[in-house]
Amino acid sequence: MLLHLSTWPEVEAYLQQSQGIIFPIGSTEQHGPTGLIGTDAICAEAIARGVGEATGAIVGPTINVGMALHHTAFPGTISLRPSTLIQVVRDYVTSLVKVGFSKFYFINGHGGNIATLKAAFSETYAYLEDLQISHAHQVQCQVANWFMCRSVYELAKQLYADQEGSHATPSEVAVTQYVYPEAIKQAPLSTEVARGHNIYSAADFRNRYPDGRMGSNPALATPEHGKQFYDLAVKELSNGYLEFLNAG
């Protein structure tokens, strides 16, 4: 059940049997010479929809732009500041808490969002209490990173070993190839790829990672691999959502 394809009476009826909602969140940022700029959002959205279908959960609109300031020296990247993303999440949650939602499960596709999301949850809890909303104490938010699922990590290690890397990875590129086979990109990739540097400013990031990859070889990705990662993530996160929904 997709929120944007539902009517308000349908959502009102849904709330009679569940107060949980799934939000896909990703990023709009460079992913190397062959990775789609929308990779993180594409992966999170596809997997979230799969989880929604498997669990009967309503799935909210994808938050396509995240915290990607360190990628902004590459053309096409769009980023929110952490403070902006915090307010976006707070306002999304607050709007839905007011009508009865209380469990918010964010399926995340971008590592750079994790710290900001956790800060946003803390700020949201305090904000809802300040508003004196009656069930503010029942509101819970959780971030679930599909790329950190145990089954996904193990398959990536098996398929790619140390060529998985940590950005523009073959695993995430494979998922986008599965979802959008018509958008598979080809480009020459150098055999030497930077890895292991700390992340500072956008200019420093591009200097240290000149083609945008971080230790990865996305040329290893295939749509067939993507289907495997998708299935594993949907299964593991469906279990995670139901545990979160049913926990006190």
Kindly indicate the confidence band of residue 59, based on its pLDDT and cuts at 50, 70 and 90. very high
Give the mean model confidence (pLDDT) for residues 33-55.
98
Hey, which residues does 144 pair with through a beta bridge?
107
The whole-number average pLDDT for the span 222-239 is 98
CATH number of the domain where residue 192 is located: 3.40.50.10310
0.75 exceeded by pTM: yes
Is it the case that residue 248 has pLDDT exceeding 90? Answer: no
Confidence band of 162 (pLDDT split at 50, 70, 90): very high
| Structural domain count of the chain | 1
- 154-169: average pLDDT: 98
Q: Are 104 and 140 in contact (CB under 8 A)?
A: yes
Q: Residue 21: phi, psi to the nearest 5? A: -145, 145
* β pairing state of 140-145 and 58-59: unpaired
**Domain range enclosing 63:** 3-246
Element (H, E) at 159: helix 150-160
Q: What is the pLDDT of residue 223?
A: 98
pLDDT of residue 56: 98
With the CA atoms of 92, 93, 97 and 100 taken in that order, what torsion angle do they form, in degrees rounded to the nearest 10? 80
Q: Is the pLDDT of residue 5 over 90?
A: yes
Distances (CA, A) of 235 to 26, 61, 147, 178, 229: 20, 21, 13, 17, 10
